[in-house]
Amino acid sequence: MTQPPSPTQHRPASDRPFFAALGVLGGTYILLLLATLGADTFYTSPGHLWRALQSPEIRHAVRLSLLTCTLSTLLSLWVAVPIGYLMTHLQFRGKALLDALLDIPIVLPPLVIGISLLILFQAPPLRALERVFPITYAVPSIILAQFMVACAFAVRTMRATFEQLSPRPEQVALTLGCNRSEAFWRVVLPSARRGILTAATLAWARALGEFGPILVFSGATRMKTEVLPTTVFLELSVGNLEAAVAVSLLMVAAAVTVLVLIRSYGLNQPFNRSL
């Protein structure tokens, strides 16, 4: 009679080599990311950063960036909330095509968006509008270029938000006498506040880093249409690498702040699914 195999014969191999291999593969990218941030940090100094902030052109770029990013974020939320709600509550023919259309600004090269906006505003009706209200190569063009890209990220975030919300509270509100509009404002929208915050921070961060469409559609005129990404480009074009790196670190700090807000209050926290 054969003896049953001892437990030592079936002991699984250690998982350490497997996790070590994955760690090496993933760690190369993390190390590269940390190395680039470290290179920027050690290349410049607080003195370079302070001198950059004393420049009238860079201070104007900071103010204009804050203004345009905030306005484009508000516009993005104004559009993203209704689109996200409709895409999760309605079924209609062509929904898949519309869903793909909403992702176009995410996958298109930024320069293509800028060129498309520039061509669009060469059409006769919009050209007539520009005689009264200048848009191209002016501040409104910066907001529009930022909005075109940032809104797509806000739409994706709001759709994910509404998909994660339980439909039960809204259904209960409808059975208690609320119409669809009242249920939306009183029940759905307050429940989606974390997602709205996430959409706002993502849209703001994306608008802050937008460069290609702004360069094509708005230009990079000092003290007029200069925002932080175009400041980096202009400083590099004149060989002022220290100022370019200092402005880049300002944008990195803003991006880190946004990511901390998203991680702290965003979609990673569970939604309240109870009544």
Per-residue pLDDT of 137-171, as tens digits, reads 999 999 999 999 999 999 999 999 999 988 888 88
pLDDT given for residue 196 in this prediction: 92
pLDDT (mean) for 198-221? 90
pLDDT given for residue 2 in this prediction: 56
pLDDT (mean) for 75-98? 91
Average pLDDT of the chain, as a whole number: 85
pLDDT given for residue 269 in this prediction: 45
Per-residue pLDDT of 53-81, as tens digits, reads 788 888 898 899 999 999 999 999 999 99
pLDDT given for residue 1 in this prediction: 52
CA dihedral (243, 248, 249, 250) in degrees, to 10, reads 90
pLDDT given for residue 10 in this prediction: 56
**From the candidate CATH numbers 3.40.50.300, 3.40.50.2000, 1.10.3720.10, 1.10.10.60, the one assigned to the domain spanning 70-265:** 1.10.3720.10
Q: What percent of the chain has pLDDT over 90?
A: 30
pLDDT (mean) for 134-138? 89
Per-residue pLDDT of 170-205, as tens digits, reads 888 888 888 888 888 988 999 998 899 889 988 998
Per-residue pLDDT of 16-42, as tens digits, reads 888 888 888 888 988 988 888 888 787
pLDDT confidence bin for 274, thresholds 50/70/90: very low
Is-above-0.75 flag for pTM? yes
Residue 89 reports pLDDT greater than 60: yes
Looking at per-residue pLDDT, the higher value among 220 and 267 belongs to 220
pLDDT given for residue 67 in this prediction: 94
Q: What percent of the chain has pLDDT over 70?
A: 91
Locate the domains of the chain by residue range.
Answer: 70-265
pLDDT given for residue 272 in this prediction: 42
Residue 108 reports pLDDT greater than 60: yes
